[in-house]
Amino acid sequence: MPRSMSRRQVLRGAAGFTLALPLLPSLLPRDAGAGGGPLGPRRRRFISLCTEHGGIWGDNMWPGDAMLSDDQTYAGHSIRRGDLVASEADGRTRLSQILSAPSTLFTPEILGKLNLIRGLDHTFYIAHHQGGHLGNYAQNDGNGTDGQELHASHRPTIDQLMAWSQEFYPDLATILERSLIMGNNVSFGWSSPATQSGTVQAMPAEWSSLALFNRIFVPEDDLVDPRPPVVDRVIDNYLSLRQSNRRLSSADRQRLDDHLERLDELQRRLEVSVSCGDVPVPRTDTYEIQGESSFFFDPEAQARYWQLFNDVIVAAMLCDTSRIAVMRVTNNFSSFPGDWHQDVAHQAHLPNGEAQALLAEGNQRFFENVFMDLVSKLDVPQGDGTTLLDDCLVAWSQESGNQTHESISTPVITAGSGGGNMRTGQYVDYRNLAKGAFGKWDESNETLYPGLTFNQWLGTALQTMGMSPKSYESGDYGGYGEHFVGEGREHMYAPGVLDAQGDWLPWLQA
Amino acid sequence: MRLRSLLPSPTLLCPALACVLASGCYSGHVDADSDDEGVDSGESGDDGGDSGEPSDTFECDPAAVPTSLPLRRLSKVQYENTIRDLLRFALPSEGDGVADGLGTLLAAIPNDAIVAPPGQNHGGFARLDQDVHQEHINAAYDVGRAVGTALTEDPARLQQVVGACATDGDASNDAGCVDDFIRRFGERAMRRPVEDDEVAFFREVFDGEGVTQGMEPQAFADVIAVMLASPQLMYLIEHGEDPVEGQEGAYALGAYELASRLSYHLWQSMPDEELFAAARSGDLLTPEGYQAQVDRLFADARTRASMAEFYRQWLWLDDLPSMDALVGDPRFDAFAGDFAPGPETHEHMRDEVLAMLEYYTFDTPGSVSELMFSNQSFARAEDVAELYGVQPWSGGEPPQLPDAERVGLLTRAALTASGTANTRPIMKGVFIRTALLCQDIPPPPDNAAANPPAPAPNMSTREVVEQLTEQPDTSCMGCHGALINPLGFATENFDALGRFRDEQVLFDDDGQVTTSVPIDTRSVPQVTAGDHTPSAGPADLAQLIVDGGQFQACFARQYLRYTEGRPEDPVTDGCALQDLTTRLEAGAPMAEVLRAIALRPEFQQRQID
């Protein structure tokens, strides 16, 4: 008689699930107290949404300056903040042209859980990049001398620091995937993550929402298999080669060590026991949507595509099979039939505003259909007076600031307080309005003002997630990310700005 | 939409190359540094000078030892092929069916990234991706478990896989039955004989710490699973044997190691029985025996698939966008006219180029000249044949192309089409400069696209590109004017669907014709630094490329990258690069060149520190 495999023996999922959509309601509400609170330490979750280009004019991206009611001097210059106040009209809630959504989605409760962070700079010219969102600045297209110089400085991104940190994951009893990565070249980790050493390599992306689902929902299996675990013998097999006296190079042995470390992780995952109830298998896969020829010019299809990933992410976090997700969103949410990159993003500064209008329209659709969709799905009660969103830090970052190619004043929009660590409901503006970066250097009316550093934001995000600075800081400056001020930009950042990088960003610490 | 009428060429500039630093590019006059040919830095993947022009001549130092990759991981393609071949070996009649059933499990193996050589943002090969991720380990484990179960789940299969002794109920032959299976299946999975201590190890796996009862199918399944997740399957493990005389740190590969290296290079899979037999007998380690196996493997259909992968990645064919994405857009529909691109048109374009390369590599002796000057169509699909104005090719002598200007590789639809209404001369230029000539293009300056001039609506694509990137005294002019644009302009007589044209018809956003402008394919492409020979169009450009020597040297570099799974080092790889380049320049058939690398001594040895 063939013997059924036990959970300990096989990782693959899906086959056991045959239920129907919807996916999320079967999980809601469940597991009262899962977020911690009086029942234990909070389980924090980190979700990063990274979009291409940026280049959105300030008036389109941000609320009016009147909202910035408070100010203080910090790091040598005046900074400003204010509580978020949205307008309501025609069934829509609005903070700005881009930050607007139907009021049924963009509720007052959600509004109070957002932060709008303006005035975060990469302190060098990086232009097109993928790794700048989460701290691996070396992952850039080399569009300028600064970008080329950074190519030698690969480092893990903050999501992977957390994924392998005991501070973020004090226990892994239910964790099937330490992180969920959707998008290429946005997340980077060590080849030996447990020892935080080796080479820095790009984490592989998952493009299928169904495959992602299968990785985080594994059929429960009560079978007790009397046979010893096969994985143990696989490990023995690798150890035998590693410890043999056969001729191997030192690099060969390092590769074997790295592989053994991964086998340890496999062994751990095979021990994970989760009970997610009757989780239905999604019947639509992102593959199917992306396979349509018109996908790249169909904003509604693009919204559905990312919403499928949102469903899986939220379900994983509700079921606590993962607490980290990173999405690199490369769609434009527009039906514009030309070359978005050249004809829109690279023309977005032209004063006639036509390209800017397209850019703003696409970003508004992203905010409404992806960001707010995710945030609202996360905002479900946990049974202890909090919602899952409260335990999250959801962060939307753009590739550039208000000028495509230029990462001065790169917008970051957050949701959730990271388990109460981050103060929310604010619009903060860290720009130094007394110091223009380059003057008026293009044809638009946008002026670039230097602010505080993106390294400081990344450090703040890590601390929000419970990471101690000593676990990620290195060198003479705080925060996270290569410390590098590009040539010709030294005048933009007073010593106080650089010295402050290890601090929480002002007003954000709860 | 007014925006688009302002920009009649919406796909002009490449993402990273809107403007390029002038100081590192040809500037229209001979630069002393630019002419400094043959200077190697000795650093892997970075042997160009400021001109961006690498060496097209190599020096062979017989004492130089090429670098070897540490514990080379099978690519995803190689891993999948290996699993399939193992299943065919174990279950000749059902192996393919079992393999097909592994679809989702095999799909969980991460796709290999296309890794460009250092300093480049475009092109590259999947074999250069040697990262090992958690997903590799997890998926290989699941595949091993599933294969173990599939091969043993019923008595008939168990009998076929293990032998009649597995099901005969005779306990007296059980021990021999298990050991025999371990040695026989293990030799295939591990690609070498299973040593006695390893037989003992797998016997322990079978015994399951004493829980196994008799010839229990699950016990065999466990053995199979451990073998399929073993380092010997997932990596090319090469211990080497005797040191190579005169090359410190180099060791000759053993017979089984050589068999694997050869079969994974040419077949992307494990050795077949004949190659195993040659390794077993030691015949493979004789010059004659090795030559015979190289010839045999190269002549096998499986080599065609491997070389197709090389060609596909070398020529960036996977980057070709869909041709039908804009169907329904008035401007595109007007541009396309009577031609209706379908969802597979871009694949057919790609297939046509691959068919041409396959034809000259395997079916008729062809050199790089044939690739660059062929005026025959290899389009098997009706849509691409329609674009060319010929009948679909169904084997035999390929049809002649009616357009005299459609000369060679550079004029094929896959290398000229963009999927929009406009060509992309800048990207065409970048492709030729980097993929075909292996010349670096310096990075664009900061804020390169900050203030582009507004092109007029009645400009040709070429004129728009010139307007945007060739303004005098701009930082853009240096590289675009010398390195990039002239190469792309040469094939502007083929439109964005790859059709021949002698004028460019411009449309507004409603699809109405606004004007037509003449096509100009003249340029000074500077294929080699300082060469100001003018080119009238595609044929002249192809001639300059073939005559210049850079193309042959670049081909050698690209093929070595693909073969070795790493960037080339012009110093330690100098002998192999020199050999290949010399053959190419002498007009050797492609088959000879591609086969030659496996006959090089470096291919048959490994460097171990």
Q: Calculate how close chain A gets to B299, using CA atoms only, in Å.
A: 33
Report the candidate in B228, B234, B286 with the shortest Cα–Cα distance to residue B258.
B286
Range from A147-156, A347-356, B192-201 carrying the lowest mean pLDDT: A347-356
pLDDT at site B478: 87
Measured between its terminal Cα atoms, the distance across chain A in Å is 60
| Minimum distance, in Å, between the CA of residue B419 and any CA atom of chain A | 10
Give the SS3 label for residue A431: coil
Mark which residues 97-136 of A lie under 8 Å from B by CB: 125, 127-128
* C-alpha B349: how far from chain center: 17
Q: Compare all CA atoms of chain A with the CA of B451 and give the residue at the minimum distance.
A: A442
> Is A255 in contact with B70 (Cβ distance < 8 A)?
yes
Closest-CA distance, A211 to chain B, in angstroms, reads: 8
Q: Give the per-residue pLDDT at B25.
A: 62
Residue B533 to chain A, least CA–CA distance (Å): 30
pLDDT score for A442 = 58
Using the CB atoms, write b or e for A83-118: b if 16+ within 10 Å: ebebeeeeebbbbbbbbbbebeebbeebbebbbbbb
d(CA A352, CA A334): 19
Mention every residue, 6+ apart, whose C-beta is less than 8 A from residue B300. Answer: B266, B267
Which chain B residues are within 8 Å of A265, Cβ to Cβ?
A: 134, 137
Which residues of A fall within a CB distance of 8 Å from B329? 297, 337
Query: A163-215 pLDDT, tens per residue?
Result: 999 999 999 999 999 999 999 999 999 999 999 999 999 999 999 999 999 99
Determine contact: A12 vs chain B, CB below 8 A.
Answer: yes
Phi-psi group of B397: left, alpha or beta (phi > 0 → left; psi -120 to 50 → alpha; rest → beta):
beta
Nearest CA in chain B to A148: B443
Task: Please tell me if residue A440 touches chain B, with a CB cutoff of 8 Å.
Answer: no
pLDDT digits (tens, 9 = 90+) for B364-380: 999 999 999 999 999 99
Q: Which of A185, A166, A295 is nearest to B343 (CA)?
A: A295
Q: Which of B133, B141, B232 faces A231 most closely, judged by CB atoms? A: B141
Q: Which of B237, B325, B447 sits opposite A293 (nearest CB)?
A: B325
- Among B108, B153, B239, select the one facing A2 at the smallest CB separation: B153
CB contact under 8 A, A266 and B141: yes
CA distance A278 to B330: 48
Q: Is A245 on the interface with B (CB under 8 A)?
A: no
Summarize pLDDT for A7-64 with one digit per residue, the tens. 344 433 333 332 233 556 656 554 444 444 444 567 999 999 999 999 999 999 999 9
With CA atoms as reference, the chain B residue closest to A237 would be B230
Residue with tokens 């110089």: A149
A152 touches chain B (CB under 8 A): no
The one-letter amino acid code at A166 reads Q
- Within its chain, how far is the Cα of A114 from the centroid? 15
Give tens-digit pLDDT for A349-360. Answer: 888 899 999 999
Contact A234 B343 (CB under 8 A): no
Preferred mutation among B4, B68, B131, B167 to probe A, highest tally of A CBs within 10 A? B131
**Contact (CB<8Å) A247/B240:** yes
Which member of A141, A214, A226 has the closest CB to residue B121?
Answer: A141
Q: pLDDT tens digits, residue range A71-117?
A: 999 999 999 999 999 999 999 999 999 999 999 999 999 999 999 99
pLDDT of residue A342: 80
Contact A443/B451, CB-based, under 8 Å? yes
Residues of B in contact with A358 (CB under 8 A): 3
Radius of gyration over every alpha carbon of chain B, rounded to an integer in angstroms: 27
For A308-317, how does the pLDDT look when each residue is reduced to its tens digit (9 = 90+)? 999 999 999 9
Asked if the C-beta of A38 comes within 8 angstroms of chain B's C-beta atoms, the answer is no
Average pLDDT, stretch B225-240? 98
**Which residue carries 């999250």 as its tokens?**
A392
For A157-218, give the secondary structure using H, E and C: CHHHHHHCCCCCCCCCCCCCCCCEEECCCCCEEEEECCCCEEEEEECCCCCCHHHHHHHHCC
Residue B326 with chain A: CB contacts under 8 Å: 297, 337
- The verdict on a CB contact (< 8 Å) between A405 and B450 is yes
Q: A224 CB near a chain B CB, below 8 Å?
A: no
For residue B449, give how far its alpha carbon lies from the nearest alpha carbon of chain A (Å): 7
Q: Which of residues 277-296 of A touch B (CB under 8 A)?
A: 293-294, 296
Rounded to whole angstroms, how far apart are CA atoms B212 and B218? 8
**Cβ atoms within 10 Å, residue B104:** 18
- Tell me the pLDDT tens digit for each residue of B20-71: 333 456 543 323 233 332 222 333 333 433 445 677 789 999 999 999 999 9
Q: Given CB atoms, is A4 within the 8 Å cutoff of chain B? A: no
CB spacing of B208 vs A227 below 8 angstroms: yes
Work out the minimum CA distance from B53 to partner chain A, whole angstroms.
19
pLDDT confidence of B117, banded at 50, 70, 90?
confident
Taking contacts as CB-CB distances below 8 angstroms, the residues of chain A near B110 are: 204
* Cα diameter, chain A: 79
β-pair type (B503-507, B513-518): antiparallel
- Kindly list the residues from chain A whose CB atom is less than 8 angstroms away from the CB atom of residue B142: 10-12
Q: Which of B85, B194, B138, B80 is nearest to B206 (CA)?
A: B194
User: What is the band of A3 on the pLDDT scale with cuts at 50, 70, 90?
Assistant: very low
- DSSP for residue B449: T
Which chain B residues have a beta carbon less than 8 Å from that of A443?
451
Structure tokens at B433: 């400069």
C-alpha B452/C-alpha B315 separation (Å) is 30
* Mean pLDDT score across all residues of chain B: 90
Q: How is A3-72 classified by DSSP, letter by letter? A: PPPPTTT----STT----S-SSGGGSS-STTTT-GGGSS---EEEEEEES-----HHHHS--GGG--EEE
Nearest to B247 by CA among B561, B605, B577: B605
- Between A332-336, A472-476, B356-360, B455-459, the lowest mean confidence (pLDDT) is in B455-459
Q: Is residue B278 pLDDT above 70, yes or no? A: yes
Cα distance between residue A248 and residue A257, in whole Å: 13
Q: By CA distance, what is B333's nearest residue in A?
A: A337
ipTM of this complex prediction, to 2 decimal places: 0.91
CB contact under 8 A, A266 and B133: no
- Contact criterion met (CB < 8 Å) for A354 and B443: no
